[in-house]
Amino acid sequence: MKKIDIIHGPNLNLLGSRETEIYGTESLESINSYVNSAAEEYGIAFDFFQSNHEGQIIDRIHSAENNVDGVVINPAAFTHYSIAIRDAIAAIKTPVVEVHLTDISQREAFRKISVSADVCVDQICGFGKNSYFFGVEALVGHWAVNRIRTENSSTPDNDKLLRSVVEILHESFPKYDWTGIYLVDGDALVLHNFQGAPSPHTRIPIGQGICGAAVAEEESIIVPDVNADPRYLACSIETKSEIVVPIYSGKNIIGEIDIDSHRPDVFHKHDQKFLEQVAAVIGEKWK
């Protein structure tokens, strides 16, 4: 079982009573309980820690090296000036995600600065208690990318590589109900392999559907509600949301990662970020 340390910085022990117009009315204990509940299906064990003292937070980060598989940290005020916490994060090999309840980019000028974000694998801000849960998902994505790299380190053939990617992605995220890869074939996309229910769309003209649009527009697409998007080509009445990420080899798009979920609005920027990293791994190893 994977283990994650959730580290809360100074003054977060006062959540629920502190500046509720900014930070909301949920207590720290409530947020911890929410993370445990929301992430239950991932089978991860959590340790929660809060301190108002910089040195204690640094010691906790140091201890992560041999005790946990990842860290989600809200450094709070230390975000903006603690080089010591930044250096502690940089000193360990354990991946760390920085999170904030509020969107610090929209706060006071001094709060827009994070001295630690660049040594973290991701920074997630502005989603309230979901920032912590999304931080957990960002770590799961980071682990998936590393596993894809490790299991394909010998540069396997393209077919084995693509099947490995789909298998790892599908089993890493319970919210991924259909996971597949399409490859460009002339002016169409052809389904290479998938996990989930069979799809009636094994060949999609480029420019049609959300899949075809991602290639035509040369960009990742997140659709929170497929039934509200006229581009959607119905695959299943259960599908509620979708994310499509193009795969580049050099400057050319060779295919795309396509993921459907039976849950509405479950794909966010952290999903896009790590899936684009997966696509980059495919592009690097493509032959």
In tens, the pLDDT along 158-189 reads 999 999 999 999 999 999 999 999 999 999 99
Task: Point out the domain boundary residue: 84, 110, 143.
Answer: 143
* 230, 108: one domain: no
Domain count, the chain: 2
- How many residues can be counted in the chain? 287
In the chain, what is the greatest distance between 2 CA atoms, to the nearest angstrom? Answer: 60
* 68, 166: one domain: no
pLDDT recorded at residue 237: 83
What confidence tens digit (pLDDT) does each residue in 61-79 have? 999 998 999 999 999 999 9
* 28, 94: one domain: yes
pLDDT recorded at residue 249: 94
pLDDT recorded at residue 140: 98
Closest C-alpha to 74, from 106, 120, 42, 36: 120
**Looking at the domain assignment, is residue 149 inside a domain?**
no
Task: Report how far residue 89's alpha carbon sits from residue 111's, in angstroms, rounded to the nearest whole number.
Answer: 20
**Looking at the domain assignment, is residue 87 inside a domain?**
yes
Question: Which residues constitute the domain of residue 181?
Answer: 158-285
What confidence tens digit (pLDDT) does each residue in 184-217 have? 999 999 999 999 999 989 999 999 999 999 999 9
* 90, 173: one domain: no
**Looking at the domain assignment, is residue 151 inside a domain?**
no
* 201, 276: one domain: yes
What confidence tens digit (pLDDT) does each residue in 17-26 have? 877 777 778 8
What confidence tens digit (pLDDT) does each residue in 237-279 have? 899 999 999 999 999 999 999 999 999 999 999 999 999 999 9
170 is catalytic: no
Quick one: average pLDDT of 73-90? 97
Catalytic residue among 23, 34, 81, 232: 23
**Looking at the domain assignment, is residue 152 inside a domain?**
no
Catalytic residue among 8, 100, 142, 270: 100
pTM of the model: 0.94
Angle between helices 130-151 and 28-38 in degrees, nearest 10: 40
* 134, 7: one domain: yes
* 137, 163: one domain: no
CATH at residue 237: 3.30.450.40
* 111, 210: one domain: no
23 is catalytic: yes
Residue 155's pLDDT band, with cuts at 50, 70 and 90, is: low
* 31, 115: one domain: yes
